[in-house]
Amino acid sequence: MSAADEPLHHPPAPRTAALTGAVLAGGQGRRMGGADKGLQPYRGQPLAFNALQRLQPQVDACLISANRHLPTYETFGVPVVQDSIAGFAGPLAGMLAAMERCTTPWLLTVPCDVPAFPPDLAARLLQAARSAGADIAIPTVRSGPGDDDARPQPVFCLVHTRLHASLCDWLARGERRVMGWARQQGAQLVPFDQPGDPAAFANINTLEALAALNDQR
Ligand SMILES: Nc1nc2c(ncn2[C@@H]2O[C@H](COP(=O)(O)OP(=O)(O)OP(=O)(O)O)[C@@H](O)[C@H]2O)c(=O)[nH]1
Ligand SMILES: [Mg+2]
């Protein structure tokens, strides 16, 4: 083709979807007396729906991981995935089920019970993982300025889906700990201390704590 025949405008290349976000809401809610934590009302909306709304602008596609009340979760408008291994094996079981459903190279899990997680969580974790050449990135937070101990928040976990087989092996061995697996895979820890917002990663475990938060408005 001669230069004269070339089209003047090339259409923009379609953006490749890189990242699926999964809200983990598949726990037993034992500290809530067995209530389905993700469906408990936070400021007028189910906790898991609040998390989904915070996650959606950060990622290319979303899923919800749930094990009970699936028709209710389905009303949130994104696919709902049930754990593929039985027995409420913990957040990694939700991650595995989400990994099996998602079609992007990266997956970010978030719990349903942290109402105010950072709006730049996905972007910063993805950037950190890519620049470190790591397949996992996990945020860390300190409890205050004097605290030297940055604690990982491993239910927030950015993971590359090429770790599927490794995750299957870990769970098949009866292992359940997110950080145990993540460290073994060379996880990149990403500091997320936000001086103006120390509660960004605060989670809710009891109905009393949720009621207190709802009363604060
Ligand atoms: N898919 C899935 N998610 C889980 C499982 N266990 C916990 N989670 C999710 O992981 C996140 C952190 O778990 P927890 O805060 O311990 O919630 P929980 O397990 O429902 O509550 P407790 O029974 O009181 O520990 C929450 O968003 C849970 O919904 C599980 O077995 N499967
Ligand atoms: Mg639990």
The ipTM (two decimal places) reads 0.99
Span 7-35, pLDDT tens digits: 566 666 656 689 999 999 999 999 999 99
Judged by its nearest atom, the ligand closest to the C-alpha of residue 88 is: 1
Residue 185 CB neighbour total at 10 angstroms:
17
Closest CA to 191 of 136, 161, 149, 155: 149
pLDDT at 143: 75
pLDDT band at 149 (very low <50, low <70, confident <90, very high): confident
Cα 102 → chain centroid? 13
Binding residues for GTP: 24-26, 37, 83, 113
Strands 19-25 and 61-66: parallel
Position in ligand 1 atom list of the atom nearest CA 82: 1
The helix or strand, by DSSP H or E, that contains position 71, with its residue range, turns out to be helix 70-74
Helical axes 91-101 vs 164-172, angle rounded to 10°: 140
- Domains in the chain, CATH or no CATH each: 18-215 (3.90.550.10)
pLDDT at 14: 58
DSSP code, position 21: E
Contact 154 CB / ligand 1 (< 6 Å): no
Contact 88 CB / ligand 1 (< 6 Å): yes
Span 53-102, pLDDT tens digits: 999 999 999 999 999 999 999 999 999 999 999 999 999 999 999 999 99
Residue 30 CB neighbour total at 10 angstroms:
11
